[in-house]
Amino acid sequence: MLSLAQKELFLNSGLGLVEYDALKIELVNVKIPLDQVNYIFTSKNAVNAFLEQARHSDASQFNAFCVGEKTKGLLETNGVRVLEMAQNALDLAGIIVEKHQHKSFLFLCGNKRRDELPETLTKNNVQYKELEVYRTHLNSKAFQRNFDGILFFSPSGIQSYLLENSVGNSTLFCIGDTTAAEARKYSNKIIVANKPTVENVLVQAIKEMSK
C-alpha cells in the first residue's frame, strides 16, 4: 500500500486515487541458514523474512546482493552490508558473474520468483542455493468502473487485478521492464517509470494524467 506521503503527492495534484492491496504476502515457516556469508535478495519481502530470523545475529557479518534501492535501504538500516545493488534481477546476476563468480550464495526468494537470475548463475557455474522464504497470494477484487490510469508495481499485481477486471482503455503505469512485459500482454498503452521506485510511477502518472 502507498505511504501517507505518497498518497499526498498524488492527491495534491488534483487527481483521484483508488488503491487496494492486490497481493497478500505469507512468510514460509522455514529455517534460514545463518552460517552463509553472501545472500541474494530480489525483494523486500525476502529481506523481512531474513531479518525476522537474523535479529539475534551480528548483521555486519552478512553480505547482501540485492535488487532495488528500497531493498538496499532496508538491509542497510538493519546493519547488513550491501556489496552490490542493481535495478533488476538480470542485471544483478550479470554483476555477480562478472565480479563475484567464485563466491557461493544463498538466494532467498518467493514462490513467484522469475527465472533470469538462477538461470544466469547456473549457466555461468556460480555456486548458489535457493530457499523459498515467502509466498505471494493473489488478492482479487472487482471494480465496477473504468480507470483512466492503473498503477502496477509487479507482474503478480497485474495478474491479480485481471482476475476480476479488464484493463480496457486505461493507461498502464509500470514500475519497471519486468512489470511492463506482463502488461504488454493486455495493452499497448503503457508508460514505464524511468526509475524503478513507487514515487517515480506516481510522478509519471501525475504528469500524464494532468495533461
Residue boundaries of the structural domains of the chain: 4-22+139-209, 25-137
Quick check: 89 and 14 in contact, CB under 8 A?
no
Q: What is the CATH number of domain 4-22+139-209?
A: 3.40.50.10090
Separation CA 92–CA 106 (nearest Å): 14
Q: Tell me the per-residue pLDDT of 125-171, one tens digit each, with 9 for 90 and over.
A: 999 999 999 999 999 999 999 999 999 999 999 999 999 999 999 99
Average pLDDT, the chain: 94
- Please list the alpha-helical segments (H only) found in 17-133: 44-54, 69-77, 89-99, 116-123
CATH 3.40.50.10090, domain 25-137, yes or no: yes
Domains 4-22+139-209 and 25-137 share a fold: yes
Q: Tell me the per-residue pLDDT of 65-122, one tens digit each, with 9 for 90 and over.
A: 999 998 999 999 999 999 999 999 999 999 999 999 999 999 999 999 989 999 999 9
pTM over 0.85: yes
Residue 83 in grid coordinates:
556489496
Q: Tell me the per-residue pLDDT of 31-43, one tens digit each, with 9 for 90 and over.
A: 999 999 999 999 9
Quick check: 109 and 32 in contact, CB under 8 A?
no
The DSSP H or E segment spanning 57 is: none
